[in-house]
Amino acid sequence: MNDMLKAVGNVFLKMPKGFVVTFKHLFKKPVTLDYPRKKKPMTPRYRGKHYLERYDDGTERCVCCGLCAAACPADAIYMEPEENEKGERRASLYEINLLRCIFCGFCEEACPEEAIFLGQEYEFSDDNRNSFIVDKDDMLVPHPRKDNPLKRIYRRVRKVYGVVDEH
């Protein structure tokens, strides 16, 4: 009898509370993301895949000094120097092994020419180990930048104040 009264009491007093709680949650915004179709913006200082900057006239900023390779704790960077047609030093070969890289950002800090940056990209999985060794062609930003002039000014301002650029 006691069990029965308790159960009936639960049905009318406690169970509706539970139903109300879950019903409220039915209309809340889902916390999961419809991932490959919708992406969360990364933070501006996110350290993703590297990219190499150019001067505004299109020449590469990198002079192949080797400071990034020296700073790299994972020993992921390898480079070979050469001279361009104006007699300036640049890299003939610049490779980063993304499987070794720990994305610490030391290369970025070490760079005296502000040439290498860690970008926003994080989707570079592959089924082939060789494809993780990226070279200069993979990392250099395209020469006439596709973005608008306002963005370029913004980028320059941010570079002055030492904030990592968005790619």
Partner 1 sequence: MLEVIIASSIKVVFVLAAVLTGCAYSTYLERKVVGHLQHRIGPSYAGPYGLLQPIADAVKLMFKEDVVPDKVERVTFALAPIISFAPALLTFAVIPFAKDDNVFGYDVKMVLSDLNIGILFVFAITSIGVYGIVLAGWSSGSKYSLMGGIRSSAQMISYEVSYGLSIIGVILIANTLSLRELVDQQASTSIWFFANWYVFKQPLGFLLYLTCAIAETNRLPFDLPEAESELVAGYHTEYSSMRFAMFFIGEYANMLAVSAVGATLFFGGWQGPFVNEVPFIGMFWFALKVFIFMFFYIWLRGTFPRFRYDQLMNFGWKVLLPLALFNTMVTGLIVVKGWF
Residues that bind partner 1 (CB under 8 A): 3-4, 7-8, 11, 15, 18-19, 21-23, 25-32, 34
CB of 6 to partner 1, least distance (A): 8
- Least distance to partner 1, CB of residue 106, Å: 39
- Work out how close the CB of 123 gets to partner 1 at its nearest, in angstroms, rounded to a whole number: 18
Residue for token pair 């419809």: 34
9 vs 44 by CB, closer to partner 1: 9
Dihedral sign (CA 137, 143, 145, 149): positive
Is 34 exposed, middle or buried, given 0-12, 13-18 or 19+ CB atoms closer than 10 A?
exposed
Closest approach, Cβ 39 to partner 1, in A, equals 15
Place of tokens 């070794």: 100
| Nearest residue (CB) to partner 1, 15 versus 70 | 15
Nearer to partner 1, 19 or 161 (CB): 19
Which stretch of DSSP H or E encloses residue 55? none
Start-to-end Cα distance in the chain: 71
Question: How far is Cα 139 from Cα 111, in angstroms, rounded to an integer?
Answer: 15
Q: Are 50 and 137 in contact (CB under 8 A)?
A: no
**27/161 with CB nearer partner 1:** 27
